[in-house]
């Protein structure tokens, strides 16, 4: 006999898994420095040959330092629900910023996009 589960069951299991993963991310970052990388590729039609493209690639690297965080602090942050849709398990632009001791490099890179570097590279590329 096949047992069918209701969709809310899977949502509960999914949420529990994501909660565990977020907690593990933050625990892994606790008391350490980690580096956030963002890669960007710019593409435009070639002036020399319209059938080809000019391509420029670059990346930005930013070091993020987190102090040693207690399990209570990690649990409280994860319980806010904020880290559930964050690639690294925290959002530096929101409550997750309280977990960060300091940043060496481009703060916007940690948020998700190195805006200053992008504008600089775009101007050089065009």
The DSSP code for 80 is T
Domain range summary for the chain, segments of one domain joined by +: 7-125
* Architecture of the domain defined by 7-125: Alpha-Beta Complex (3.90)
Calculate the dihedral angle through the C-alpha atoms of 79, 84, 87, 91, rounding to the nearest 10 degrees. -50
Residues in the chain: 126
Residue 8 has pLDDT above 70, yes or no: no
Q: In this predicted structure, what is the pLDDT of residue 84?
A: 81
Top mean pLDDT of 6-15, 23-32, 63-72, 85-94 is at 63-72
Q: Token pair of 34, please?
A: 């980690």
How many angstroms from the chain centroid is the CA of residue 39? Answer: 12
Q: Which pTM does this prediction carry?
A: 0.77
Count of C-beta atoms within a 10 Å radius of residue 38:
19
């Amino acid at each position: 006999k096949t047992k069918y589960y209701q969709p809310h069951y899977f949502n509960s299991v999914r949420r529990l898994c994501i909660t565990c993963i977020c907690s593990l991310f933050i625990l892994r970052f606790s008391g350490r420095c980690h580096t956030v990388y963002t890669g960007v590729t710019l593409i435009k039609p070639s002036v020399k040959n319209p059938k080809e493209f000019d391509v420029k690639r670059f990346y930005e690297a930013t070091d993020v330092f987190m102090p040693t965080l207690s399990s209570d602090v990690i649990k409280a942050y994860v319980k806010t629900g904020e880290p559930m849709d964050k690639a690294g398990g925290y959002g530096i632009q929101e409550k997750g910023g309280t977990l960060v001791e300091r940043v060496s490099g481009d703060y916007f890179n940690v948020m998700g996009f190195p805006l200053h570097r992008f504008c600089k590279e775009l101007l050089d590329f065009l």
